[in-house]
Amino acid sequence: MLVFYKANLVFLSVPKTGTTAYEAALRPYADMAISEPPMLKHAPVYRYNRFVRPMYLKVCDTDLEVMAVMREPISWLGSWWRYRQRPFMAGKPNATHGISFDDFVLAYMKGNKPGFADVGSQARFLERQPNGTGVTHLFRYEDQPRLQAFLTERVGVTFELERHNVSPAMPAQLSQDVETRFRRKFDEEFALYDSIPTG
């Protein structure tokens, strides 16, 4: 999570959307950067609303605008599946070695998810709160030019990105049956993604 007080902006860090690279590039210009622990680095809207927003609201009389990035839902799960196949994950409970992408997504769709498929939800991460707190500026991970142009103008700096936390390169292709079931069960994820402006 990055806070730019003068720009009246907080950048929430949705996991697996490249935000670690943005944190590394923009940290020198941020007034506050939370990179540890993961539960605060990747604080969703509800946690930001409960812990960080009140601090700026009460002390600075400022209600920061919120920005975040969302990845296409199948691509997002594919990134998690590949990420948990890094060599050092071998033998760990959350590893996905030996698990096909179809089986990973089928496990994700269960009510009681096994540890390796328990990766949360982008829609829940970004969910607007009862008091109205929500994401003011939402960008598609796949639309990097629009995202970078917004940050350059809003924060007032130019920056270069380096790759961080890169997942192993391997195809993540769902069978048609599993994709259809996933799209039907998690239609709110796709609806939110499709609502994000492009261009």
**Where does the pLDDT of residue 169 fall: very low under 50, low under 70, confident under 90, or very high at 90 and above?**
confident
For residue 163, the model assigns a pLDDT of 78
For residue 31, the model assigns a pLDDT of 96
For residue 162, the model assigns a pLDDT of 87
pLDDT tens digit string along 33-71?
999 999 999 999 999 999 999 999 999 999 999 999 999
Long-range pairs, 131-137, Cβ under 8 A, ≥24: 131/49, 133/45, 133/48, 133/49, 133/53, 133/66, 134/45, 134/66, 135/12, 135/45, 135/66, 135/67, 135/68, 136/65, 136/66, 136/67, 137/65, 137/66, 137/67, 137/68
pLDDT tens digit string along 88-134?
899 898 999 999 999 999 999 999 999 999 999 999 999 999 999 99
**Is residue 149 over pLDDT 80?**
yes
**Is residue 3 over pLDDT 90?**
yes
Among candidates 121, 139, 134, which has minimal Cα distance to 46?
134
**Is residue 183 over pLDDT 90?**
yes
**Is residue 171 over pLDDT 90?**
no
Going by their DSSP bridges, the two strands 2-4 and 9-11 should be labelled as antiparallel
**Where does the pLDDT of residue 178 fall: very low under 50, low under 70, confident under 90, or very high at 90 and above?**
very high
Average pLDDT taken over every residue of the chain: 95
